[in-house]
Structure 1
Amino acid sequence: MKRLLAMGCGLLVLGWANGMAAAPSPDTASVDKAIVHLAPTKGNKVQGTVRFETVKGGVKVTADLTGLTPGKHGFHVHEKGDCSAPDGSSAGGHFNPTGQAHGGPDATARHEGDLGNLVADASGAAHYERVDQQLTLQGPNSILGRSVVVHAKADDFKTQPSGASGDRVALGKIEPEK
Structure 2
Amino acid sequence: MLRLTMAAGLAACVIGLSACDEGKLETGAPVAGGATAVAPLRTAAGADVGRATATEVAGGLRFTVDGMNMPAGTHGAHVHTTGRCDAPDFTTAGGHWNPTEMKHGTMNPQGPHYGDIPNLIVDSGGRGTVAATIPGATMAGLLDADGAAFVIHAGPDDLKTDPSGNSGGRIACGVFQAS
TM-score norm. by structure 1 comes to 0.73
Distance 2:108 2:37 in 1: 22
Matches within 5 A, 1:49-68: 49-68=51-70
1:70 corresponds to: 72
Q: Distance in 1 between matches of 2:137 and 2:114?
A: 6
Q: 1:116 to 1:129 in 2, by over 3 A?
A: closer
In structure 1, what is the Cα distance between the partners aligned to 2:105 and 2:48?
Answer: 24
In 2, the alpha carbon distance for the partners of 1:105 and 1:66 equals 28
Which residue pairs with 1:35 in the alignment?
38
* Pairs aligned (count): 144
The percentage of counterpart residues that share the same residue type is 37
Match of 2:112 in 1: 110
Match of 1:19 in 2: none
Matched, 1:143 2:142: yes
Aligned counterpart, 1:80 = 82
Give the TM-score normalised by the residue count of structure 2. 0.72
- Among 151, 156, 165, the residue aligned to 1:154: 156
Within a 5 Å distance, the mapping from 1:157-172 to structure 2 comes to 157-172=159-174
How large is the Cα RMSD of the aligned pairs? 2.3
Quickly say closer, same or farther: Cα 1:105–1:34, change in 2 above 3 A.
Answer: farther
Cα distance in 1 for partners of 2:178, 2:57 equals 15
Are the aligned partners of 1:31 and 1:137 in contact in 2 as well (CA < 8 Å)? no
What 5-or-longer segments of structure 2 have no aligned partner? 1-32
| Structure 1 consecutive aligned stretches of length 4 or more whose deviation exceeds 4 Å | 105-108
Give 5+ residue unaligned stretches, structure 1.
1-29
Which is worse superposed, 52-61 or 146-155?
52-61
Aligned to 2:11: none
The amino acid that maps onto 1:39 is R
Greater shift in the superposed pair: 107-116 or 150-159: 107-116
Q: Give the CA deviation at 1:164.
A: 0.4
Distance 1:160 1:108, change over 3 A: closer
